[in-house]
Copies of this chain bind each other. A is one copy, B any other.
Amino acid sequence: MSALLKYEEHNPYGSPASGSCTSCDVYEFNICAAIRKRSEAAGQATEPLLVASVHTIPARRTISRPTEWSEFVPVICRGWASSTIALSDGRRQILSFLLAGDMVSTASPFESTSGLLVEAITEVTYRNFKRSDLKTALFEHPDLLEMLAKAWGEERRSIDQLAVDLGRRTADERIARLILNLMDRLAKRGMAQDQTMDFPLRQHHIADATGLTPVHVSKVLSGFRRSGLIDYSNRSLAILDVASFQRVANQR
| A residues with CB within 8 A of B | 85, 87, 89, 91-93, 95, 105-107, 109-111, 115-116, 139, 142, 145-146, 149-150, 152-153, 155-157, 159-164, 166-169, 210-211, 252
Give the Cβ gap from A137 to chain B, nearest Cβ, in Å.
12
- Residues from chain B with a CB closer than 8 A to the CB of A252 are 87, 89, 91
A109 to B156 CA separation, bound complex (whole angstroms)? 13
Known: A110-B150, A162-B163. 8 other contacts (CB 8 A): A89-B252, A107-B149, A110-B149, A110-B153, A156-B159, A159-B159, A163-B166, A166-B167
- Residues from chain B with a CB closer than 8 A to the CB of A166 are 163, 166-167, 211
In the bound complex, do residue A95 and residue B163 qualify as a contact, i.e. CB atoms below 8 Å apart? Answer: yes
In the bound complex, do residue A139 and residue B145 qualify as a contact, i.e. CB atoms below 8 Å apart? Answer: yes
In the bound complex, do residue B145 and residue A87 qualify as a contact, i.e. CB atoms below 8 Å apart? Answer: no
In the bound complex, do residue A107 and residue B210 qualify as a contact, i.e. CB atoms below 8 Å apart? Answer: no
What does DSSP make chain A's interface, helix, strand, loop or mixed? Answer: helix
Q: Which of A93, A149, A157, A167 has the most CB of B within 10 A?
A: A167
- Residues from chain B with a CB closer than 8 A to the CB of A85 are 160-161, 163-164
In the bound complex, do residue A163 and residue B159 qualify as a contact, i.e. CB atoms below 8 Å apart? Answer: yes
- Residues from chain B with a CB closer than 8 A to the CB of A211 are 166-168
- Residues from chain B with a CB closer than 8 A to the CB of A167 are 93, 166, 210-211
- Residues from chain B with a CB closer than 8 A to the CB of A91 are 168-169, 252
Contacts A/B (CB < 8 Å), 21 sampled: A85-B163, A87-B252, A89-B252, A91-B169, A92-B168, A93-B163, A93-B168, A95-B163, A106-B152, A107-B149, A110-B150, A110-B152, A110-B153, A145-B145, A155-B156, A156-B156, A159-B159, A159-B163, A163-B166, A167-B211, A168-B211
